[in-house]
A and B are shown apart, each in its own frame.
Chain A
Amino acid sequence: MKKSSDKKDRLERFVRDNREDFDVWTPSDALWGRIAPALGEANQTPPLSEKKNRHLGSWGKAYFDWRIAAGVILALGVSYLFYLNNKYGVTRDPQVALSAPAYAREFTQYNQAIDEKRMELVRLTTDNPELYKEFSTDLDRLEKSYSNLRSELPQAPNQEALIQAMIQNLQWQVELLNQQLTILQRIKQADKRHENNPIS
């Protein structure tokens, strides 16, 4: 450290106050070109770590990559199509869905309900095949008339009426299944009561 006894004279103060102005020289631009080769091969890791840094840096802001954006949009599109198909039954019953798009959703809902109830029916009647046969013949009749209606659909002069008839048919199917399920439940309950009170 400079001692306080070295009292600054005018020259020293002047230099200190104008220090920046004394740096008037600039090295030639070519100098780095002489230094760089003398440093040997640049390390191979730097571009990597630089890249990493860059990515980390931009994650902090808003990271945007067209490839990822495209992937996300594609995934959303596919799942939406999947959802639509599920709801409107395009692949399940293309004929109906395409000739009556306004009702496609309704048809699908009924069909799904019917499928569910049928599964339930099958499950509850595993120990009673005869009852199942009886039930399914009733249901088959309705289904047959539904198929007839459906095959008439393309040529029907009054589409609206036919579609209403088809929906009516599906409603009947649902109602029939509901009744059958209620019957089955009653039977089960009765069986249980008998098991619990064998004497009565």
Chain B
Amino acid sequence: METKLYTDRHVELVERCKLGERKAQYELYSQYSRAMFNVCMRMLNHEGEAEDVLQEAFVDAFTHIHQFRQQSTFGAWLKQIVVNKAINQLRSRKMQWVDVDEWLLTGEEVASAEENHEWQEDQTFEVARIRRCLELLPAGYRVVLTLYLFEGYDHEEIGEVLGISETTSRTQYMRAKRKLLEVMKTH
């Protein structure tokens, strides 16, 4: 299985990290820092905050590495820490976070799902444009979209990590996607 393979690849490095070996820690950091930084950037949309969160996450991961029991890959375990830290960071910006739900509900998205698909057919996607438009979305939308679309979380996992129900996650995602496509029409 693919997961097994990934797990095995870092078993030795993780073991050395458990002994507190600085070189092994740096090796794991070099392998994961970029991917994790991109998770942070997509969720937080702010370079300074993203670096702070990444730093905190790695320090946390290495100081608690004895709690990692190889049930998942090291990358998946680390990503969990990163995502949780990023969400906490967003929550500390209270205002914006709470606003999202309001904004969602009052949003003038009357467009149906079918319409939605029609838009998609017309649009040509570009990586840079999607990225730019993602940045324009409110944090709540961005987080759900990021976790589902980019990090491979399912709605159950998103619900868990955000403290919402699976159904809420599902509708949030639908709305977020619609919003993204809408934004993309004008950008």
Do A and B come together as binding partners? yes
Footprint of B on A, CB under 8 Å? 1-3, 9-12, 14-15, 18-19, 21-28, 31-32, 34-36, 38-40, 42-43, 45-46, 49-50
B32-55, CB under 8 A of A: which get 1 and which 0?
011101100110000100110011
B103 within 8 Å of A by Cβ? Answer: no
Beta-carbon nearest neighbor of B22 in chain A:
A42
A21 to chain B, nearest CB (A): 4
Task: State in angstroms the CA–CA spacing of A67 and B38 once bound together.
Answer: 51
Residues of B within 8 A of A40 (CB): 63
Q: Contacts A11-B181, A23-B34; is A28 near B58 (CB within 8 Å)?
A: no
Query: B117 touching A27 by the CB < 8 A rule?
Result: no
B107 within 8 Å of A by Cβ? Answer: no
Query: B59 touching A46 by the CB < 8 A rule?
Result: no
Task: State in angstroms the CA–CA spacing of A26 and B181 once bound together.
Answer: 27
Query: A46 touching B41 by the CB < 8 A rule?
Result: no
If A15-B130, A31-B33, A42-B21 are given as contacts, then 20 extra A-B residue pairs at C-beta distance below 8 Å, sorted by A number, are: A9-B117, A10-B120, A10-B125, A11-B125, A11-B130, A14-B130, A22-B131, A22-B150, A23-B38, A25-B37, A25-B41, A25-B50, A27-B34, A27-B50, A32-B26, A35-B29, A36-B25, A38-B55, A49-B19, A49-B21
Query: B120 touching A35 by the CB < 8 A rule?
Result: no
A73 to chain B, nearest CB (A): 36
- Contact residues on B (Cβ < 8 Å of other chain), bracket: 35 or more
Beta-carbon nearest neighbor of B35 in chain A:
A23
Beta-carbon nearest neighbor of B37 in chain A:
A27
Residues of A within 8 A of B42 (CB): 22
Residues of A within 8 A of B125 (CB): 10-11, 14
Task: State in angstroms the CA–CA spacing of A49 and B20 once bound together.
Answer: 11
Beta-carbon nearest neighbor of A43 in chain B:
B20
Query: B150 touching A36 by the CB < 8 A rule?
Result: no
B104-124, CB under 8 A of A: which get 1 and which 0?
000000000000010011000
B74 within 8 Å of A by Cβ? Answer: no
A186 to chain B, nearest CB (A): 80
B175 within 8 Å of A by Cβ? Answer: no
Q: Contacts A21-B127, A36-B22, A45-B19; is A11 near B177 (CB within 8 Å)?
A: yes
